[in-house]
Structure 1
Amino acid sequence: MIPLTPQATTEQFIPTVNLMTTVGSEVQLPKEVDEANSQYKLSKVAVKWDPISSEIFEKTGKYEISGKTITSSQSVKALIHVFSNSKPINIAAVGDSITFGMNVENPSANSYPKQLNNRLGSKYNVMNFGNSGKTLLENGNDPYIKTSEYTNSLGSNPDAVIIQLGTNDAKPTNYSKINNYIDDYLKLINKYKALNTKPIIYISIPPKVEKNIYLIEPSNVEKNSTENSRNCTTRWARYFHY
């Protein structure tokens, strides 16, 4: 279990890079990675990776690759998760209406999880567990953790989980409780990390909201939900090297 309220430090920190693939399919490591400062603000830095043997893509496993930033020679770590071809890689898309596909014509065919599955191909199985209007906050007006989609996502045997929550937490009725946001997010992550499949966790930053709609306040999304999601991402990565 990771600390839920870790203290910021003066150190620069680079979260671990996580990549997924299947046996026989090589992946390219990114030329840039995210670096977090003491306030968990992210910026891009160039990195040079150690050589990768093609042999790691010939069998299943989790392989650690090291590298260093070009400007400061800070150590960087990547984990390449190589899955079997015997079954699709299960990806649980967890979230609110953005995940569900509200106001999208034919969500079952055009929601982002479906489009992601189309791009990844038949070796992947992206499951849509979106539920419109839901909050990340446990004491929000309509918490995601109280939905059947949440329960079903826990039972879906995910190899990876994409969390897209935070937009509805910007509503005034929820924003007054926003100080609980990071702790509640870390609790949610821990629920998925405790699963037997030990899934990779990806946090999707709430998208920009151009105008007040469904009582969602744009400035709250920009100032708090987005910032807190970034903070949560780097705090999680600092204290749990997944």
Structure 2
Amino acid sequence: MKNLNILRFILILSITTYSLSAQIKVVCIGNSITEGWHGNPSYVPTLQKLLGTDYIVENNGKSGATLLKKGNKPYYMQDAFSRALKSNADIITIMLGTNDTKSQNWDNYKSEFKSDYESLIDTLQSTNKNAKIFLVIPVPVCKDNYGIRNDILNLEIPIINEIADEKGLSVIDANTPLLSSCNYFNDGVHPNDLGAKAIAKMIYQNISK
């Protein structure tokens, strides 16, 4: 009986280990819109619920992060980036650029936005060789706040689309569908519950195809 119980335990452990290893790993890269900020929810938990147990979704957002390497808080310098590099992800979503619209960032280093974005992608691909990468167009800025400017965000969008086209990557447009949904952003920048659910749904519909 004792040996039988041991065998059962080993079998259950093996099944559990296999189930975990068989899960599709999704790594979400971004700023406070991804991480969540001051009571404003992250979309990542909702994305996990939508994808279900066949997936494991990791939140690698960092509040205030910029895509620009010379920005005031480069994503490249954050622990979240280190985790993403080591994640062995199957799918990576990148939604950065919102904080880059601040004057101290864009006005000084806008010419480096494309090359820094390409560098981020290349670095992620160097350690996550089998990952499918999705570039997420940042959500609209319904009200300029915290130095974040929607007119500059609109300048970033064609650059992101150009990078995706040149690298053969998929784009998830989280901007256009929310242009008329400013009630989804209490402070004009960060999504509330409705906004987080809408973002999660858009990402889910694209990565689960």
Instruction: Judge same fold: TM > 0.5, yes or no.
Output: yes
* Residue aligned with 1:90, SS: strand
More strand by share: 1
Equivalent-residue separation in structure 2 for 1:86 and 1:166 (angstroms): 33
Tell me if the contact between 2:31 and 2:96 (Cα under 8 Å) persists in the aligned partners: yes
Match of residue 139 from structure 1: 70
Q: CA deviation at 1:179?
A: 1.2
Structure 1 runs of 4+ with >3 Å offset: none
Alignment of 1:51-70 (within 5 A): none
Is there any run of 5+ residues in structure 1 with no aligned partner, and where? 1-83
Letter in 1 for 2:141: V
TM-score of the two chains, using structure 2 as the length reference: 0.67
Match of residue 155 from structure 1: 86
Q: CA deviation at 1:156?
A: 1.4
Question: How many percent identity over aligned positions?
Answer: 34
Tell me if the contact between 1:91 and 1:125 (Cα under 8 Å) persists in the aligned partners: yes
* Residue aligned with 2:163, SS: helix
Is there any run of 5+ residues in structure 2 with no aligned partner, and where? 1-18, 170-209
Residue deviations 1:184-229, cap 9 Å, x none?
111111111112542100000011101111100111111x222221
1:172 pairs with one of 95, 100, 103: 103
1:116 equivalent to 2:47? Answer: yes
Alignment of 1:223-238 (within 5 A): 224-237=155-168
Residue deviations 1:84-128, cap 9 Å, x none?
9852111110110111022445x4xxx211111100100000100
Distance of aligned partners of 1:196 and 1:202 in 2 relative to their CA distance in 1, 3 Å threshold: closer
Distance of aligned partners of 1:85 and 1:143 in 2 relative to their CA distance in 1, 3 Å threshold: closer
Alignment of 1:53-92 (within 5 A): 87-92=22-27
Letter in 1 for 2:70: N
Letter in 1 for 2:74: P
1:193 pairs with one of 122, 125, 132: 125
Match of residue 100 from structure 1: 35
Q: Which has the higher contact order (CA 8 A, sep 6+)?
A: 2
More helix by share: 2
* Residue aligned with 2:93, SS: strand
Letter in 2 for 1:220: I
Measured on the aligned residues, the alpha-carbon RMSD in Å equals: 1.8
TM-score of the two chains, using structure 1 as the length reference: 0.59
Tell me if the contact between 2:85 and 2:128 (Cα under 8 Å) persists in the aligned partners: no
Equivalent-residue separation in structure 2 for 1:236 and 1:164 (angstroms): 16
Equivalent-residue separation in structure 2 for 1:156 and 1:198 (angstroms): 12
1:212 pairs with one of 141, 144, 165: 144
